[in-house]
């Protein structure tokens, strides 16, 4: 397992996720920690099941805001067009399809 740093910029209704690298079929578990309330910048740490994450690849994900303290799994489909998320809750997992810009 290798950690992948992700920085998010909060805008109304949108979080912009900028990862170092993400390839089809990879999944990441992320948890939210807001680092600076005045700037609206959120810091995420992502753990990948892959040990050989390539660095330097920049992608922009625009997704619905995530709740603080909620662990979310992000994965990219083979067509590189959708991100699937599942949020932990007391009732288990619920999934939603979200748009992606690469």
* Domain ranges (residues) in the chain: 2-99
Q: What is the pLDDT of residues 41-73, one digit of tens each?
A: 433 444 444 433 333 333 333 334 444 444 454
Determine the pLDDT at residue 29: 45
E strand map for 1-102: 2-11, 14-19, 27-36, 41-48, 61-63, 72-76, 82-89, 92-99
Segment 2-5 long-range contacts (CB within 8 Å, at least 24 positions apart): 2/47, 2/48, 2/50, 2/51, 2/52, 2/53, 3/45, 3/46, 3/47, 4/28, 4/45, 4/46, 4/47, 4/48, 4/53, 5/43, 5/44, 5/45, 5/46
Q: Among 30-34, 74-78, 98-102, which stretch is predicted with the lowest mean pLDDT?
A: 98-102
CA–CA separation, 42 and 17 (whole Å): 9
CA–CA separation, 97 and 85 (whole Å): 7
CA–CA separation, 79 and 62 (whole Å): 17
Determine the pLDDT at residue 32: 42
The whole model's pTM is what?
0.23
């Amino acid at each position: 397992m290798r950690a992948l740093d992700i920085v998010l910029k909060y805008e109304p209704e949108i979080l912009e996720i900028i990862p170092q690298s993400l390839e089809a079929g990879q999944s990441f578990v992320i948890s939210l920690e807001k680092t600076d309330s005045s700037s609206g910048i959120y810091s995420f740490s992502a753990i990948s099941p892959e040990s050989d994450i390539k660095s330097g690849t920049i992608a922009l994900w625009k997704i619905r805001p995530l709740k603080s303290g909620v662990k979310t799994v992000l994965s990219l489909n083979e067509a590189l067009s959708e991100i699937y998320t599942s949020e932990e809750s007391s009732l288990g997992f619920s999934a939603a399809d979200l748009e992606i810009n690469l």
